[in-house]
Amino acid sequence: MKKSLSLFLVVLFVICSIPSALAYAAIEDDYVFDDNDDGTLAVFMYSGETDHPLVIPASYQGKAITTIVPPAFYNSEIVDVQMPVSMKKICTGAFDSSWITVVRFNEGLETIETRAFNNCSSLTEVSIPSTLSSLGDGAFSNCSGIVKVGVAEGNEYYCSDGSAIYDIDKTVLLLYAVKSSAQEYVLPSTVTTIESYVFYSASSLKTLYLPETLSKIGDYAFYKADKLTDIYFAGSEDEWGDITKGTKNEVLSSVTMHYNEVKPCDVHTWNEGEVKTPATCTQKGVKTFTCTVCGATEDREIAALGHDYVSSVTPPTCTEKGYTTNTCSRCQDSYTSDETGPLGHDFGEWTVTTEPTCTQAGEETRYCSRCSATETQPIPAPGHSWDGGVVTKEPTCSEDGEKTFTCTACSATKTEPVKATGKHTAVTDKKVPATFKKSGLTKGSHCSVCGKVITAQKVIPKLGKPSIVKLTKGKNGLTVKWTKVSRIHGYKIQVSKSRKFAKSKTKTFTVKDQKKIKRTIKRYKKGKYYVRIRAYKVIGGKKQFSKWSKAKSIK
pLDDT at 425: 85
Q: CA 78, CA 65: separation in Å to the nearest integer?
A: 19
> For residue 398, what pLDDT is reported?
79
> In terms of Cα–Cα distance, which of 419, 422, 425 is closest to 395?
419
C-alpha–C-alpha distance, residues 207 and 228, integer Å? 6
**SS3 per-residue string spanning 29-80:** CCEEEEECCCCCEEEEEECCCCCCCEECCCEECCEEEEEECCCCCCCCCCCE
pTM over 0.85: no
Label residues 275-294 b or e (16+ Cβ within 10 Å = b): eeeebbeeeebebebbeeeb
Q: How many CA atoms lie within 13 A of 158 on its CB side?
A: 26
pLDDT at 14 (0 to 100): 40
Distance from CA of residue 245 to its chain's centroid? 41
In order, the DSSP letters of 428-450 are EE--B---SSS-EE--EEEETTT
pLDDT of residue 95: 97
460 torsion bin: left (phi>0), alpha (psi -120 to 50), beta (else) = beta
Q: What pLDDT, on the 0 to 100 scale, is given for residue 165?
A: 97
| Strand 426-429 to 41-46 pairing | unpaired
**Chain centroid to CA 225: how far?**
44
Residue 21 phi/psi, 5-degree rounding, is -70, -20
**pLDDT of res. 399:** 84
User: What does each of the 555 residues of the chain score in pLDDT, given as a tens digit?
Assistant: 222 323 333 333 343 334 333 334 456 678 999 999 999 999 999 999 888 899 999 999 999 999 999 999 999 999 999 999 999 999 999 999 999 999 999 999 999 999 999 999 999 999 999 999 999 999 999 999 999 999 999 999 999 999 999 999 999 999 999 999 999 999 998 999 999 999 999 999 999 999 999 999 999 999 999 999 999 999 999 999 999 999 999 999 999 999 998 876 655 657 788 999 999 999 999 999 877 546 678 888 899 988 999 999 999 999 899 999 999 999 899 999 999 999 889 988 999 989 898 988 999 999 998 888 999 999 998 889 999 889 999 888 878 889 999 998 888 899 999 888 878 888 999 999 999 999 999 999 998 888 889 899 999 999 999 999 999 998 888 999 999 999 999 999 999 999 999 999 999 999 999 999 999 988 777 889 999 999 999 998 899 999 999 999 998
Please give the pLDDT value at position 450: 81
pLDDT of 60 reads: 95
